[in-house]
Structure 1
């Protein structure tokens, strides 16, 4: 078993508490599903949010998913000119048998444009 870091990011449409919780929960669940992870596999998670997001701590969404004894930290993303607005990022440290090259980093909604080189496109079924 190795310690690996897996990344994720999502963009919110607006800074509304329930929307923040939904988007962060979706990101965490997708990271878990894409990498075959359970809550017990997580060592810690660092969340960052852009300065235009103030409605809720992103870590609260993870707490609601059962991450009650996993250390979680929220921080402010750097304010860089031309950076994407309303983005929550995560870097999770996990125990896994997956080789680093086989980790799936999850970038959702507008944040998918941030790191197309790292993320694998999640297929959405036709409606």
Structure 2
């Protein structure tokens, strides 16, 4: 079974270092809380809001040992009026035997507003 593991994080500034560090923090927490191994990941989609142009957040995943061959695609989020700015969203497609309700979706910083019903995540 392939499960979607969702996550999101915000940044304060549009700069490469902050985008990469925030994405790395988010992905590491997604991996840790869901016991994900790179070999079990079919693909990863990463979207950014339109004002984040300083870096490809996929670069964060490429820095993780063992994640070199995981297919990753970056894209721009739909610019809906009033949506959360400076936000990076991740969708991992993971082969897993876990039931859907056992998947931990991770929302950090201001991104906790995206899914207040899933408030078990840290707001680091």
| TM tier, smaller | over 0.9
Output aligned runs, 1:98-113, within 5 Å: 98-113=98-113
1:118 matched to 2:118? The reply is yes
Q: Deviations over 1:42-67 (max 9, x none)?
A: 11000000010011001111111132
Structure 2 gaps of 5+ residues are: none
Q: What is residue 17 of structure 2 aligned with on the other side?
A: 18
Structure 1 vs Structure 2 CA RMSD = 1.4
CA separation in 1, counterparts of 2:119 and 2:99?
16
Q: How many residues align?
A: 123
TM-score (norm: length of structure 2): 0.93
Structure 1 gaps of 5+ residues are: none
CA separation in 2, counterparts of 1:117 and 1:43?
27
Q: Aligned-pair distance for 1:119?
A: 4.8
Q: Aligned-pair distance for 1:36?
A: 1.0
CA separation in 2, counterparts of 1:105 and 1:28?
11
Q: Aligned-pair distance for 1:31?
A: 0.4
TM-score (norm: length of structure 1): 0.91
Output aligned runs, 1:43-122, within 5 Å: 43-66=42-65, 67-122=67-122
